[in-house]
């Protein structure tokens, strides 16, 4: 039985993915993306869509971590961490738009 099942009514399917870490630690990691629409595609198509999504996510986080140094940032007072994170994302968006 799923708790608060009414909050999960949007789920039309679940995909189970196992992936090896690029870091070389050899551990398998499992992800289970939730599908908002009934899947009409085969496994190869779903895999391609999910890999594309994670490719975008990884590129974004790499820029934020390396370019803006978010992982090393030690802002702790009040909402400063959230505020600077938002400013970094705005700067990244502006930079991406100017490169088009």
Whether residue 72 lies inside any domain: the answer is yes
Q: Is the pLDDT of residue 21 over 60?
A: no
Residue 30, both tokens: 């499992």
Whether the per-residue pLDDT at 28 is higher than 80: the answer is no
| Per-residue pLDDT, 89 | 85
Both tokens of residue 76?
A: 């702790």
**pLDDT for the residue 100:** 63
Inside any domain, residue 30: no
Q: How far is CA 29 from CA 21, 24, 26, 44, in A?
A: 7, 12, 9, 19
Residue 100, domain extent: 58-100
Specify if 99 maps to a domain. Answer: yes
- Answer whether residue 81 is part of any domain: yes
For the chain, the domain total comes to 1
- Asked whether residue 98 is domain-assigned, the answer is yes
Q: Is the pLDDT of residue 94 over 80?
A: yes
**pLDDT for res 20:** 62
- Tell me the pLDDT tens digit for each residue of 30-84: 676 767 666 677 878 888 888 887 777 777 778 888 888 887 878 878 888 888 8
């Amino acid at each position: 039985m799923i708790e608060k099942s009414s909050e999960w009514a949007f789920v039309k399917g679940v995909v189970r993915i196992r992936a090896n870490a690029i870091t070389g630690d050899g551990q398998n990691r499992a992800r289970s993306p939730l599908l908002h629409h009934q899947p009409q595609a085969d496994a190869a198509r779903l895999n391609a869509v999910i890999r594309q999504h994670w490719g975008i996510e990884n590129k974004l986080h790499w820029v934020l971590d390396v370019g803006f140094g978010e992982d090393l940032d030690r802002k702790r007072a009040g909402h400063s961490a959230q505020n600077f994170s938002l400013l970094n994302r705005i700067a990244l968006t502006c930079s991406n738009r100017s490169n088009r």
